[in-house]
Structure 1
Amino acid sequence: MQTLTKREKILLYVLLCIVVFAGGLFWMLLPALEKHNTLKAEYDTAQLELQSVKASMIDYGDLDKQLKETSEELKNIKNKYYEEMNKEDVDNLITSMTIEHGLTPVSLSIAEADQEDILSYTEYQLQQKKGSSSKSKDGKLKVYNVNLSVSGAITDVQTLVDDVRTTKSLKVSGITYSEEDDEKTTTITFKLFMI
């Protein structure tokens, strides 16, 4: 057998080192690579679960903002209506408005407060055409029906009616004017809505 030259020995030695290095690398790297792939799959699964949980969670960050907006809206609605009043309070309100406008109250009748449907104008028109009393989907309000007879100048009555239009929830539902002998009487029917 021939002996190897020095150059061949060095090449074999380098080849052996490369084989040992590559074998050790694969021997150590393959298990680590498999572990990496397993952990990567678990990480991806956890990310998907996290995204699905986040998507199904209620966003409480906007809840305070929504609560404030709803409270403001309720406050604005309440400002449009009188608080619940008894008959004496209604009497004082109507009588003081009448006297402020230079009119003399002749009679005042206040019916018991009833619950009335809240109807939009179109619902009211449809109800009037059909002649039926359909139930409102919006709810009910407590309403006093007030009949006030006053004597005084018709211009004072007109200013009273104009001022009533600007009040919270006192509305004029009818006016009749009568003139007997020298007595001029105007009967105004009000609806006082309360919340």
Structure 2
Amino acid sequence: MKEIFQSISRREKMMLYVLLCFLLVMGGWFGLVKPQLDTYQHNREKIDKKNIELNELNNKLDLYQNAFNQLLSQQDNYKKLTKRYYLKTSNVSLSRMVTSLIILHTLKPVSLNMTSGQRETNDAEDESQQSLPKNITLNTISIICDGDPKSCMKFLDDMRKTLSSAYLSSFSYISLGANSHTRFNIVFEVYMIKV
């Protein structure tokens, strides 16, 4: 081996040194650096995924910690919304209440008609009008009564105070001429909620 090495020229020796250095560098790259770099990149991806999972878990933890406050807020909102509606009652008790209010205001009841159910939308109707939720029913009260206008106005005010979810849907009157009495045709819509 020594003889072969002495017999080659300086230029060939230089090329062998360069080849040996190149082989050492490439061996070091593929044997040591590249596997470590691949492992580093793989671990870096794992760390990034774990950080994303950690952030998601922290967000879920925040939601969980705020859940009780959100529940209280939702319960308060529910109470506020349900206060707008009259509690579901039978037509008989609603009829008694309306009749007693009519008599209390010295009006003479002529007719009292009640219907109840859901308001549904037709394709021909306005699209902004929607059907009511299942726990809310709509009762329509049609009243025809005789009396003076001041008593009727007091009756309307008291009806609105008694039934907070009663809305005046239609109102018309005809003068009867005798004793300055007037016939009133009143239609209320009463929204009731089942709790």
Q: Same fold (TM over 0.5)?
A: yes
For 1:49 and 1:152, the matched residues in 2 are separated by: 74
Deviation at 1:68, TM superposition (A): 0.9
Do structure 1's residue 72 and structure 2's residue 70 form an aligned pair? no
Q: Supply the distance in 1 between the matched residues of 2:131 and 2:174 (Cα, whole angstroms).
A: 38
Corresponding residue for 1:82? Answer: 86
Aligned partner of 2:97 in structure 1 is 93
Which of 42, 59, 63 is the aligned partner of 2:67?
Answer: 63
Q: What residue in structure 1 maps to residue 8 of structure 2? A: none
Deviation per CA, 1:113-169: give whole Å up to 9, x if none: 120259xxxxxxxx9xx9624364674441111111112111111122223333311
Please state whether the residue corresponding to 2:85 is helix, strand or coil: coil
1:174/1:190 contact within 8 Å kept: yes
What is the Cα deviation at residue 48 of structure 1? 3.1
Structure-2 change in CA distance of 1:90 and 1:81 (3 Å): same
Worse-matched range after superposition: 55-64 or 147-156 = 55-64
State the identity %. Answer: 19
Write out aligned runs for 1:44-193 (5 A): 45=47, 48=51, 51-55=54-58, 57-58=60-61, 59-111=63-115, 113-116=116-119, 132-134=125-127, 136=129, 139-140=132-133, 141-166=136-161, 167-180=163-176, 182=178, 184-193=182-191
Q: CA deviation at 1:174?
A: 1.1
Under a length normalisation based on structure 1, what TM-score does the superposition of the two structures give? Answer: 0.61
Aligned length: 144
Task: Quote the Cα distance in structure 2 between the aligned partners of 1:57 and 1:88.
Answer: 51
**How far did residue 101 of structure 1 move?**
2.0
Deviation at 1:190, TM superposition (A): 1.0
- What is the rounded CA distance, in whole Å, between the counterparts of 2:169 and 2:64 in structure 1? 46
Contact 2:118 2:132 in 1 (8 A): no
Query: What is the TM-score when the length of structure 2 is the normalising length?
Result: 0.61
* d(CA) in 2 for partners of 1:66, 1:152: 52
Inter-partner Cα distance in structure 2 for 1:84 and 1:93: 14
Structure 1: where are the runs of 5+ without partners?
1-37, 119-126
RMSD over aligned CA atoms reads 3.2
Aligned 8 A contact 2:118 2:131 in 1: no
| Superimposed CA distance per residue, residues 34-60 of structure 1 (whole angstroms, 9 cap, x where no aligned partner) | xxxx9xx89x94983673353452521
Separation in 1, partners of 2:59, 2:131:
31
* Distance in 1 (alpha carbons) for counterparts of 2:58 and 2:130: 33
Give 1:99 shift. Answer: 2.1
| Structure 2: gaps (5+ residues) | 1-39
Q: Secondary structure at the match of 2:65?
A: coil
Residue 16 of structure 1 is matched in structure 2 by none
Query: Does structure 2 retain, via aligned residues, the 8 Å contact 1:149–1:187?
Result: yes
